[in-house]
Amino acid sequence: MVEDEEKWPPWLKPLLRESFFVQCKLHADSHKSECNMYCLDCVNGALCSVCLHLHEDHRVIQIRRSSYHDVIRVSEIQKFLDISSVQTYVINSAKVVFLNERPQPKPGKGVTNTCEVCERSLLDSFRFCSLGCKIVGTSKIFERKKKISPEKKHLIMAVSDSDDSYSSNSHTRRRSNHNNATSFTPSTPPPTAASFRAVKRRKGIPHRAPMGGLIIEC
């Protein structure tokens, strides 16, 4: 993590987190109060045009917008930052790069190259769609995850599924054994009318047969 932090200038991540094109709190009454500037030396938030007199001789860059997303001209940012592998776009006859990733549906058919982080469609010669994605995609943690081959990922998922299945089956067997143990001894059935009559039945009076040889109890 320390190496990843030292790889980039200290102003880059604050720049990517900053909100631009909002009204300046110090110069709200000015017609030039929209904050679209950033000082790389002070790193104290977005600035408006009126704020610039406090940052003379500082490295100040201007943020622009394209389709509601923040961009910066290549001619400005490349003096202070390595933007190789980040796709550039031409807007108003000037090359720009996007600051952060932009949401996009899954790439359609025929797409041969995508951003390594967010999977946005790219030209074949680029790896990332924005400066933010380059920071993530070149970090040590991301590179370690990327080195796991698809076969290893499949094996890890298979082992995980097997463990889940074994746990589920063991739990089912324990429940089944518990149910069998509790239901193994049948409960005593309730008394019926026939059994009640059998208990209450008494011996009848003996009757002598007509021939006097056999006695039958009724």
**Token pair listed for 48:** 């408006």
For the chain, the structural domain boundaries read 11-148
Residue 103 is predicted with a pLDDT of 81
**Token pair listed for 6:** 């030292």
What single-letter DSSP state applies at residue 34?
B
Residue 174 is predicted with a pLDDT of 52
Q: Taking the C-alpha atoms of 10, 92, 33 and 51 in order, what is their torsion angle to the nearest 10 degrees?
A: 40
Residue 188 is predicted with a pLDDT of 44
Residue 173 is predicted with a pLDDT of 52
pTM over 0.75: no
Distance between CA atoms of 115 and 146, rounded to whole angstroms? 13
